[in-house]
Amino acid sequence: MPFRGYDELVETVGDWLARGDLSPQIKDFIWIAECDLQRQIRFRMLDKTFSGVSVAGQNYIDLPNDYAEGGFLNWTSNRSLPSIEVVSYDITAGHQRDASGDASVGTIHGDRLLIGRAPGEVEYDLFYKAGVEHLGGEIQTNHILQEYPDCLLFGALTVASPYLGADERIGTWANMYDNAKEETRMAEWRGRSGHGVLRMRSDVSHLR
């Protein structure tokens, strides 16, 4: 049957497993599959924007609670300041040693974005990737379940493999999961790129 909600997904995974003794573990299988997908695929619908105001004399910005990775920061109330790209520690350290102007890079340290010299009280927009909003309880659906239900189904079935012993279905599910992830990765890339041709651009840096 079609599964567009979490409870239906749990039931469908149970039907495919055909192992009543594994019913208590199905929610764990789905959770782990969601974690795996978040690590491997850059879902465009997890792109978020957080607005705030920097604190004068403070060399960091507090990150939003759902921050997962990457991004950049634009100063919105002082357009003369350069945008800040999130990069690694070594790049940030080298830049802050050598630069005499305003910072253009920052690095993540715990739940903060270190930005070097604070520009004062300036409004900003932080563009970043949020973590997956896990299914369960009152959250009956999310972007992954709506757009890529096969990823969650085959992912959960693959995660269940240690409980299944020599079950011949495991290899089939694993292959279907790998194929679903690759097709999802390409679909998300097309969504970001507007179906354009993939090109190398020397004038555009990638998010580190």
Is 183 part of any domain?
Answer: yes
Q: Is residue 78 part of a domain?
A: yes
Q: How far is CA 52 from CA 77, 127, 178, 190, in A?
A: 11, 12, 40, 31
Determine, yes or no, domain membership for 200.
Answer: no
Closest Cα to residue 127, out of 70, 59, 189?
70
pLDDT of residue 207: 43
Task: Indicate if 117 and 69 belong to the same structural domain.
Answer: yes
What is the extent of the structural domain holding 69? 45-130
* Whether the predicted pLDDT of 204 surpasses 50: no
For residues 104 and 51, membership in a common domain is answered with yes
**89-102 per-position pLDDT tens digit:** 666 666 654 455 66
pLDDT band of residue 56 (cuts 50, 70, 90) is: confident
Mean pLDDT of the chain: 86
Check whether residue 66 and residue 118 sit in a common domain: yes
This prediction has a pTM of 0.77
Question: What mean pLDDT comes out for the span 41-47?
Answer: 88
Q: Name the one residue in this structure whose structure tokens are 């999130």.
A: 86
- Boundary of a domain, candidates 112, 130, 148: 130
Report how many domains make up the chain: 2
72 token code pair: 């950049």
Report, as an integer, the average pLDDT of 54-63.
Answer: 89
Q: Are residues 123 and 52 in the same domain?
A: yes
Give dist(CA 198, CA 189) in Å, integer.
10
- 117 and 170 both lie in a single domain: no
